[in-house]
Structures are given as structure tokens and as C-alpha cells.
Amino acid sequence: MIFKDNLTSVSLTELIAATNWQQQYRLIIQWGKLIQPKPALRLPENLVKGCELPVWLVHEREGEQHYFLFDSDSSVMNGLVVLLLVQLNGKSAAQIRELDIAASIKLFGFDKHLTPSRNNGFRRILERALHLVDMQ
């Protein structure tokens, strides 16, 4: 098992309280630093297809709880994935299926402020995560 990143300091409330895109962006970059490099993840089978930059995602299940490990060289993508991981990690498959993560992306306005390639990459990562949960 590869170590999990410590995301306990992440607060979605803090992101909601940010009054403008610049504050949100700084927070995303700050969150991105919580994702530690995981060279062991960088295997072809873990590569998320359809992303402009290489990103790797691994799924682990402990009992009924699902966890994801992520690695990328992009601090912005790391920060966006932190937003995803805090919503998915530790949840059951049923709880994950009930989430509307795409709505949270729109709520925060990321769909308007991020480049199309980053939005597309985030969608690919989300799709891959959901697919990995469904395979279990």
C-alpha cells in the first residue's frame, strides 16, 4: 500500500467562503502542495487517459470504504483533485454514487475560470474514479 496524503486540513467551507476567484485559486494551489509525489503510482495502468498532462490515479478499498491515491506534476491539478478526494475518500460506493461533484465544480465557478484542458482533465479523473468504484 502506498501512503495516503493527509488532507485533514482541507475545508470546503474555506473554499465556499473565498470571495473571489483569486482567493479560490490560491487555495487550490495551497491544497495541491498536500499531494506528495508518489513515483510508485506512475505505471501505465494507473495513467488517466484523456488528460493533457500525465496524471495517475489508484483506487483502494478497505472494507466498504473507497480511497484514491493521486499523482501529478501539476500543482493546479493536484489542488483540484484534493477537492475530489475529500469528497470521495472514506465513502462507500453508494455514498459516492449519490455525490454530484460536477455540481460542486459549477458551484465554485471552476468551469468558468479554468482552461478547457484543465476542466476536461478533471472530468476524466472523476470519470476514472467512478469507474474504479463501479469495478469493485
What grid cell was written down for 17? 467562503
- pLDDT, tens only, 74-116: 999 999 999 999 999 999 999 999 998 878 777 788 878 888 8
* Cα–chain center distance at 23: 19
Q: Decide: 93 and 64 in contact? Cβ < 8 Å.
A: yes
Amino acid code (one letter) for 90: G
What grid cell was written down for 66? 473507497
- pTM comes to 0.91
Domains and CATH numbers, the chain: 12-134 (3.90.1010.10)
